[in-house]
Amino acid sequence: MDLSPPAVTAGPELAARARAVLPAAAYDFYAAGSDEQLSVGEAAAAWRTRRFAPRVLRDVSAVDTSVELLGSRLSSPVLAAPTAFHRMAHDEGEVATAAGVAAAGSLMVLSSRATRYPEDVAAAAGPWWYQVYCLRDRDITRRQVERAAAAGARALVLTVDAPYVPPKATAGLPLPLPQDDELCRSVGLGTRLPGWEQDPSIGPGVIGELARLSGLPVLVKGVLRPDDATACVDAGAAGIIVSNHGGRQLDRAAATAEVLPSVVRAVGDTVPVLVDGGLLTGTDVLVALALGARAVLVGRPVLWALALGGAEGVAALLDSYREQLALRMALAGAATIAGIGPDLLHG
């Protein structure tokens, strides 16, 4: 096992370096939370409250971080979360992100607010999923989903915690968005038309509708309650993503580290449970897996790495998560992802 320090690590230093090279409006948009930004500030700290009870006298001479997720074999359980407008961070935008994620052997969730076409992203990507909102104009949603499925998306990620979009605390306008007219129409960049707003009236039945429309499994992102998780599974969800939208929706929503165990208990082994929100180190990832998550997603750190190094920066970031996780697994006495369980946590 390589015990040398990783070349790129997530955290305040990476964000500060990215801030120095990004347009101010772009950095503010990416970093902002809503209202007082309490949820943003609490996210990372919540993972650090847990303590380990490591096993000893286990054979950890070889550690395997790979995982299978909805039919995709990945080098580690660290995925790139859906985040909007990557061309504000790098000229190649989501294409560079996809290439970096693929080089690291992981999976990207492409935002429906992307600044590159799904077909171009797919050409650079390994396995990828497509994030979708149900919009007031359901025909727009249908076209987006059908296009993503035709381009090779392996699953849909239905984001359900944004019936309305609140003002962000520090995000300013105008954003440095691309001026490609067809792209702007296809993903709603800069539009204020009512049809592009999220539909606040949707219920669990939309999960089955999207699955039938696309022929793809549908994961539901934005779940913080056990009863909502079971309702989604009952409605046909193929996975649950515990998320508070990076603190960008309802401020003071609970940190995902706090609610993950209750959602895992409610869902059981019926579908995989994933989690995002403030995971900055391989140690954080190990905590999440011990709490029952099948995989984690990281958002802002990917944007910072993209801004600093393009595809190579994204690959280096995800490689660093994998390397950190492998070492922490060895120190905890777990040689495989399947060997990580709640017994690794103290108390």
The single-letter DSSP state of residue 69 is E
State whether the Cα torsion 39-45-49-54 is positive or negative.
positive
Q: How many domains does the chain have?
A: 1
State whether the Cα torsion 4-298-292-271 is positive or negative.
negative
Whole-number pLDDT of residue 173: 65
Q: Which CATH number fits the domain that encloses residue 106?
A: 3.20.20.70
Whole-number pLDDT of residue 179: 77
Ranges of residues in the chain whose predicted pLDDT is under 50: 3, 5
Does 233 reside within a domain? yes
Q: Where are the alpha helices (DSSP H) in the chain?
A: 12-21, 24-31, 38-47, 93-103, 118-124, 138-151, 181-187, 205-214, 226-234, 256-267, 282-290, 300-332
Report how far residue 126's alpha carbon sits from residue 102's, in angstroms, rounded to the nearest whole number: 5
Range of the domain at 256: 12-344
Report how far residue 151's alpha carbon sits from residue 39's, in angstroms, rounded to the nearest whole number: 35
Residues 296, 67: contact at Cβ < 8 Å? no
Structural tokens at position 34: 């809503």
Does 76 reside within a domain? yes
Whole-number pLDDT of residue 3: 46
Whole-number pLDDT of residue 36: 87
Strand partners, 275: 242, 296
* pLDDT, tens digit (0-9, with 9 covering 90-100), for 141-192: 999 999 999 999 999 999 999 999 887 766 566 788 887 767 776 777 666 6
Residue 306's contacts (CB-CB under 8 Å, 6 or more residues apart) are 86, 89, 90, 96, 97, 100, 313, 314
Structural tokens at position 206: 């939309």
The three-point CA angle 120-122-125 to 5° equals: 115
Q: Give catalytic residues, as residue numbers.
A: 245
Does 325 reside within a domain? yes
Whole-number pLDDT of residue 7: 59
Does 20 reside within a domain? yes
Residues 129, 121: contact at Cβ < 8 Å? no
Report how far residue 172's alpha carbon sits from residue 188's, in angstroms, rounded to the nearest whole number: 18
Whole-number pLDDT of residue 311: 97
* pLDDT, tens digit (0-9, with 9 covering 90-100), for 81-131: 999 999 999 999 999 999 999 999 999 999 999 999 999 999 999 999 999
Whole-number pLDDT of residue 159: 98
Does 7 reside within a domain? no
Report how far residue 271's alpha carbon sits from residue 62's, in angstroms, rounded to the nearest whole number: 29
In 3D space, the residue among 240, 244, 255, 231 whose CA is nearest the CA of residue 295 turns out to be 240
Does 1 reside within a domain? no
What backbone phi and psi angles, to 5 degrees, belong to 179?
A: -105, 20
Structural tokens at position 281: 């180190």
Does 58 reside within a domain? yes
Whole-number pLDDT of residue 83: 97
Does 6 reside within a domain? no
Q: How far apart are the first and last CA of the chain?
A: 30
* Entry pTM: 0.94
In 3D space, the residue among 274, 268, 284 whose CA is nearest the CA of residue 242 turns out to be 274
Whole-number pLDDT of residue 163: 92
Whole-number pLDDT of residue 190: 63
Task: Give the rounded distance of the alpha carbon of 264 from its chain centre.
Answer: 18
